[in-house]
Structure 1
Amino acid sequence: MALLRIDGDNLVVVIEGLDKLWAFKSSLTIPLAHVRGATADPGIATEPKGIRAPGARVPGLITAGTFHQDGEKVFWDVKDPSKAVVVELADERYARLVIQVDDPRASVDLVEKALA
Structure 2
Amino acid sequence: MARISIDREHGLLAAEFQGLDKLWTFKSRLEVPLAHVRGATHDPGIDREPKGIRVGGTHFPGVITAGRFRHDGERIFWQVKNPDKAIVIQLADAETYDRLVIEVDDPRATVALIEHSIAQS
- How many angstroms does 1:53 deviate by? 1.2
Deviations 1:14-65 (A, max 9, x none): 1111011111111111111000000000000001000011000001110000
The residue that corresponds to 1:106 in the other structure is 109
Q: Secondary structure at the match of 1:65?
A: strand
Once residues 17 and 60 of structure 2 are traced to their aligned partners in structure 1, the CA distance between those partners, rounded to angstroms, is 18
Amino acid at match of 1:58: F
Matched positions, count: 116
Q: TM-score, normalised by structure 2?
A: 0.94
Match of 2:55 among 37, 42, 53: 53
Once residues 73 and 16 of structure 1 are traced to their aligned partners in structure 2, the CA distance between those partners, rounded to angstroms, is 22
After TM superposition, the runs of 4+ consecutive aligned structure 1 residues lying more than 3 A away are none
Unaligned runs of 5+ in 2: none
Once residues 86 and 56 of structure 2 are traced to their aligned partners in structure 1, the CA distance between those partners, rounded to angstroms, is 20
Q: Secondary structure at the match of 2:15?
A: strand
Q: Secondary structure at the match of 1:28?
A: strand
| % same residue | 61
Q: Secondary structure at the match of 1:17?
A: coil
Unaligned runs of 5+ in 1: none
Match of 1:75 among 74, 77, 81: 77
Amino acid at match of 1:40: H
The residue that corresponds to 1:42 in the other structure is 44
Once residues 85 and 37 of structure 2 are traced to their aligned partners in structure 1, the CA distance between those partners, rounded to angstroms, is 20
> What do you get for the CA RMSD once the two structures are aligned?
0.6
Once residues 59 and 23 of structure 2 are traced to their aligned partners in structure 1, the CA distance between those partners, rounded to angstroms, is 12
Once residues 77 and 7 of structure 1 are traced to their aligned partners in structure 2, the CA distance between those partners, rounded to angstroms, is 21
